[in-house]
Amino acid sequence: MYFLIVLLAYFLGNFSASYVIGKLTANIDIRSHGSGNAGTTNVMRTLGYKAAIMTLIIDCLKGVLAVYIARRYGSENLALVAGVVVVIGHNWPVLLGFKGGKGIATTIGVGLSIHTSIALICIFIGIILLIKFKYVSLSSVVAITFLPILMISQGWNYFIFGLILCLLAIYRHKENIQRLLHGTERKITEKYKVK
């Protein structure tokens, strides 16, 4: 049963809101436009705010649902595992040739479900940084760095959970980090055009 729940979490993560919305609204593969990332920021820059909000909500809900199912039919530790696995499924979806997003929206949904107040602190940090610097990547990476630090107060299992999510996010943002260091990263206000 536990294996099936973890497997379900992975395939929940495989559902790419950005890919589906790109196909439905503009008949494009979002991964072939803009930054090439199957995520909220690329959708916003390529298809606009409405499509981005839909993407954000759906990707968050994947995380919420994965944690809920694991808690309902398993245990708290299984919920932690499912939370990590749904993000892995989003980042590396077998159904889309392992070319997915960066997992931030899904991580938000997972974090809010696992420990709402800690997740809200991280979100608040991210929003403040985004408003000040206008870099989604910078605000995401810095905010999620606080997740394992704050989660350690809940126990080592929560710390490990937070650390894995943090490392996944940093790894998926490695190119963004390089661009930030070289001053070539795009700000949230910069848009792409669908060709």
Domain for residue 193, yes or no? no
**Is the pLDDT assigned to residue 106 strictly greater than 60?**
yes
Over pLDDT 90: what percentage of the chain?
Answer: 95
Domain for residue 192, yes or no? no
pLDDT tens column, 120-151? 999 999 999 999 999 999 999 999 999 999 99
- Host domain of residue 133: 2-182
Domain for residue 93, yes or no? yes
- Rounded to whole angstroms, the Cα distance separating 2 from 73 reads 8
pLDDT tens column, 68-80? 999 999 999 999 9
Domain for residue 187, yes or no? no
Domain for residue 19, yes or no? yes
Please tell me the total count of domains within the chain.
Answer: 1
